[in-house]
Structure 1
């Protein structure tokens, strides 16, 4: 329960971080968009201001020439004052004054426009830097989001995998203890009981001989032989379940053939086995691993999938070993994770220890196929 709360808390923290970063990204995007709009507006305003500055310069130059001419005219009127009438003199003075006033206004407006142009250019430079920083920050946040989305999920998977391995380790210990109990019961109920019976029957043989009852002694000896054979069979069966001697003596393929035949007969299930490639002895760890993989797959197909047909194919190539186990059982949803599915976890562990890959394909009511590929140089 505490572990589930811890997992939920971690997911909550990661989701909160992702949400905060995504909101920050949206805010930066909005800031960048507003800066772009302001930049476009200022560019347009700067263009208009520059055009006004040029027009004021042209108007000022033209008016300055007119003022210069008017001053010359005023100087001439002042010099030859007696040649002009009062109205002409007043008109020259008024025109000169009006043009000078207008020129001063134009120059003042030109100065204001120049200052506005310079201010707009400074603001545009500042906005350009703001947009660049916003884009750079948005790019960094995108990288962070990718990290949070992908890498943190990987962290979660790694944590989850570590928990699975821990649980798997505990399950192995439990399985070992259970296996010890099972073997103990089997030896107690089987060979041990039979040996006790053999001991009792041997005493009967001894009594019969002492009583000179040879026929009865021979009958007892026959029964003792039967019991010895049964005990030997039980001991060999227990040894085979622990580790088939044929695996050491004959190799992988003959052992799988024998195992498949025994399991098919015992469970009344059709099991087909075929092998291709060079049939030769492999490194011991590969033979043991592949035999255990066949065992687990076949047992799962019979026990859980309730399959009526199981196909096992082994291919021994120059650079790899490939095994395919298919059944026509009830299948399962591979996307839905099953609790305590330690059989498949154990198989995957074995394959990974051999640096191989295992792929499971299964659909409800359409059977299951397990493909195992392991690198191996003959």
Structure 2
């Protein structure tokens, strides 16, 4: 009796194992069908033995239509030749080969793997294809933004160098000439040295204001020691003095704490915005407003200048594009509104939370 029971248990165990294998194979095929990546299995001559739904859609056909089809016939001649070379490399080495390719205008990451039979011989090729178009375009966009930022930095360096040469260099030359005149007058006993000293002091004061302006442009003051409102008041006053524009700044009475990275982006918007107003807008007044609404900090900069047609991309938009990318990287937005004869308005918005969600 015990032998019979044991035999029954053995049969049940084998049946269970067989059923498990069937379920596992069924599950594996279902997973392949549900996979968003293209999966293909072909023999060594290139005839398709299996193709999942994603791969069939990639060729614009159904899986049934593609079974038994020569896979190389689905590619342009040059691309088919390249893939044959890669397959030969995989079969000769017995190792997977990965590469990036383009198909029908899409970027793809392709992995070609040799498939071995139970005896160890390579009898087929499995191909996994993932669409990486969005990733490639994001990388290209990042490269473009990096190039734009480098261009903006170089433009800013040239502008600062020009300002240092034109303004501060001329002021230093004037100071030297005045001091020489004062020294010469003292040696000859002239009585007007006092007025010349006053003029020299005025030149030094103007030069110090200009140097302070350059420092403000290079690096904003610490937002840890001054409130954001005070920093922006000082910035707008400084820009008004240096540009001759009427700059009106307004802000709500109390602002919540704003992280430095967001505060710096807002600061740069005002700098770049007023710099563009001076160069291109032919305006007399600028209004800057800072406020926080619904856990977002918003800033607007509006001028009464000549405006422009947004459809006609202005040459100075590279700087604004760099600013827009900075706002986007901080999960915010930057919009430009303008029309010929109606001035220009910049509007930036940033979440108060850091980009990592903290």
So what's the TM-score if we normalise by structure 1? 0.47
TM-score normalised by the chain length of structure 2: 0.49
Which structure would you say has the larger RCO, counting Cα contacts within 8 Å and 6 or more residues apart? 1
Higher Rg: 1
